[in-house]
Every structure is written in structure tokens, then in C-alpha cells.
């Protein structure tokens, strides 16, 4: 057991515990903050797997931008989930059955795959090598996702625009 | 030498299961979107691990695209949630029954 495998198991436990805490919190702010810890763990896992550029992107995009966006929305809206039951009693049976079937099938697939017994060797993809690979082999996809982000920006602007107040003539008959 | 690839698959599979449970069990639109983020993150872990297994950069390239799509999805999703909250004053999907 090398130092790398010890780091992997520590990170795996950290990720699973913080994610499990996040999905069971009633308070949405607590859930978001636990999930930030989970994403930091994933970033360190990416670094361990030799993807330093993706580790940085995980911190910036997931733990930074996306979670801050969630935090803003949670703060902006009075989300009262105080009396929410995480699982209603009549949902327990389907949840347990479906989860156990998923775990059993997944374990079967992983145990039957010969690749899953290969031990990973450490390697590192330097960001410059990664960037050259991306722009040599996937330049069209890069353009497409930049266009996708632009479309998402325009869509958010259209959705977020405050809708026009209905004029008096439209509401005078008691209907919208 | 890190770990067998199967352990990475088990970690990502459990993370994906947690994401599914969060999506189907929580009754708040924000938690549903968080569950989708958890699932996308689990997929990213598998892709980076397989990129290390085959010593090829293709997996990492796909993770870059997954990040971009997650960013677009979460921005549109949160804008829709804010829009629906303004119209109905609720974030519980069970309350969206105007067609009923």
C-alpha cells in the first residue's frame, strides 16, 4: 500500500461522507457548503489522477462559480424546507429496493470487468500538453461549447427579465 | 501505483447513487439540481480515472466539456427556478399543478 493509495482512500471517504451529509441536510445553505467540501475532495482526486488543469477547473467552476450561484439563489428565496421529511415512510421500500438492485448490478459489472483489476500507475498530464491536445483534436468542440455558453447566457437574460405587469384593461374582467 | 481501477468505479458509482437519491427523494427544486451536479461530478471522476488507466488524454478532454455543460445547465436551471418561484411562490415541485 503506497502513499498514493492511502491518499485515495482518505479522499474517497471525505467525498462520500460530505456528499452524504449534503443530500440529507434540511437547511439548503448547509447542504451547499458540505457539497463545496465534496468538490474540493474531487479536485484533489483529479490532481492525484494526474489532471492538474482539471483540478484547478473543478475548484474554479464547481466549488467557485456553481456553488456560489446556488448560495445566491438560496439566500434570495425564502426556501422553507424545515418540515420536509427526507424520505416519506411509504417511499422507504422502493428507495431501498432500487438502491440495492443498483448496487448489486454495479458490483457485478465491476467484478466482471477485467480492466477493474488493473492497478493505476501515476502519471501527470501537464496543462500545456493538455491544451495542445485539446486544440489539435477537439478545436471544433471547443467552439461549440463556447457557443453553448453564449446561448445559455442569452437564455438566462430572457428568462430572468421581469415579466411585464398585466395592464388594467387585461385584468379588469378578473382574469389574467 | 495508486489503486485498482475497480475502486475508482465503486467510488463514482456510490456518488452517482447519492445523486439519484437526492434527485428522486428531495422535495425542493434546488436540491434536485444539486443532485444532478453530484451525478455529473461522479461521471467526471470515472472519466479522469479511465484517462489514467489507458494513459490517454481523451477522457480529460471530455471532462472539460462536461464542466462547460454543467455550467450552462446550472445557470439555465437556476434561472428557471427563480422564474417559477416568482410565479408560484413555492419551490416544491408538488405545488406546480396549474394544469390539474
Contact A49 B7 (CB under 8 A): no
Q: A61 with A139, same domain? A: no
Question: Which DSSP state fits A38?
Answer: H
State whether residue A128 sits within 8 Å of chain B by CB: no
CA distances from A166 to A163, A172, A173, A174, A176 (A): 9, 10, 12, 12, 7
Of A20, A19, A24, the C-alpha closest to A36 is A19
Residue A176 is predicted with a pLDDT of 45
Q: A59 with A69, same domain? A: yes
Does residue A51 belong to any structural domain of this protein? yes
A15, A66, A115 member nearest B37 (Cβ): A66
Compute the nearest-CA separation of A86 from chain B (Å): 6
Domain spans, chain B: 8-90
Q: A75 with A142, same domain? A: no
- Which region among A69-73, B13-17, B66-70, B91-95 has the lowest average model confidence (pLDDT)? B91-95
B35, B57, B76 member nearest A156 (Cβ): B76
Question: Which DSSP state fits A59?
Answer: I
Asked whether the predicted pLDDT for residue B43 surpasses 90, the reply is yes
A73, A84, A155 member nearest B76 (Cβ): A155
Class for domain B8-90, per CATH?
Answer: mainly alpha
Segment B48-77, tens digit of pLDDT = 999 999 988 999 999 999 999 999 999 999
Give start and end residues of each alpha helix (H) in chain A: 3-24, 28-48, 52-57, 67-76, 92-112, 127-137, 139-160, 168-171
Q: State how many domains chain A has.
A: 2
CATH number at residue A47: 1.20.120.1200
Does residue A148 belong to any structural domain of this protein? yes
Does residue A45 belong to any structural domain of this protein? yes
Q: A34 with A105, same domain? A: yes
Q: A114 with A95, same domain? A: yes
Partners of A23 on chain B (C-beta within 8 Å) are: 18-19, 21-22, 26, 31, 34-35, 38
Q: A49 with A3, same domain? A: yes
Q: Residue A62: give the domain boundaries.
A: 1-81+91-125
Asked if A142 contacts A135 with a C-beta cutoff of 8 angstroms, the reply is: yes
Residue A164 is predicted with a pLDDT of 61
Contact A23 B35 (CB under 8 A): yes
pLDDT in tens, chain A (176 residues): 789 999 999 999 999 999 999 998 888 899 999 999 999 999 999 999 989 999 999 999 999 999 999 999 988 887 666 566 666 677 778 888 888 999 999 999 988 888 888 888 888 889 999 999 999 999 999 999 999 999 999 999 998 887 665 555 444 444 44
Q: What is the mean pLDDT of chain B?
A: 89
Contact A66 B35 (CB under 8 A): no
Amino acid at each position: 500500500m503506497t502513499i498514493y493509495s492511502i491518499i485515495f482512500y482518505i479522499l474517497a471517504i471525505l467525498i462520500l461522507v460530505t456528499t452524504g451529509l449534503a443530500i440529507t441536510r434540511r437547511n439548503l445553505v448547509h447542504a451547499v457548503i458540505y457539497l463545496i467540501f465534496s468538490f474540493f475532495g474531487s479536485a484533489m482526486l483529479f490532481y492525484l489522477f494526474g489532471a492538474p488543469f482539471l483540478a484547478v477547473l473543478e475548484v474554479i467552476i464547481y466549488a467557485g462559480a456553481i456553488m456560489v450561484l446556488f448560495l445566491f439563489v438560496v439566500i434570495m428565496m425564502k426556501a422553507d424546507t424545515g418540515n420536509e421529511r427526507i424520505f416519506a415512510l411509504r417511499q422507504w421500500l422502493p428507495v431501498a429496493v432500487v438502491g440495492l438492485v443498483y448496487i448489486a448490478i454495479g458490483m457485478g459489472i465491476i467484478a466482471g470487468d477485467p480492466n477493474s483489476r488493473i492497478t493505476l500507475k501515476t502519471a501527470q498530464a501537464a496543462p500545456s500538453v493538455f491544451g495542445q491536445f485539446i486544440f489539435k483534436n477537439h478545436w471544433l468542440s471547443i467552439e461549440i461549447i463556447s457557443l453553448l455558453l453564449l446561448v445559455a447566457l442569452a437564455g438566462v437574460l430572457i428568462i430572468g427579465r421581469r415579466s411585464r405587469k398585466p395592464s388594467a384593461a387585461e385584468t379588469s374582467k378578473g382574469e389574467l | 501505483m495508486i489503486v485498482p481501477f475497480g475502486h475508482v468505479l465503486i467510488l463514482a458509482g456510490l456518488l452517482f447513487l447519492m445523486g439519484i437519491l437526492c434527485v428522486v427523494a428531495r422535495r425542493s427544486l434546488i436540491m434536485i439540481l444539486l443532485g444532478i451536479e453530484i451525478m455529473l461530478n461522479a461521471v467526471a471522476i470515472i472519466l479522469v480515472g479511465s484517462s489514467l488507466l489507458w494513459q490517454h488524454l481523451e477522457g480529460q478532454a471530455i471532462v472539460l466539456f462536461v464542466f462547460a455543460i454543467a455550467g450552462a445547465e446550472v445557470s439555465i436551471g437556476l434561472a428557471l427556478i427563480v422564474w417559477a418561484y416568482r410565479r408560484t411562490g413555492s419551490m416544491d415541485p408538488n405545488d406546480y399543478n396549474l394544469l390539474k
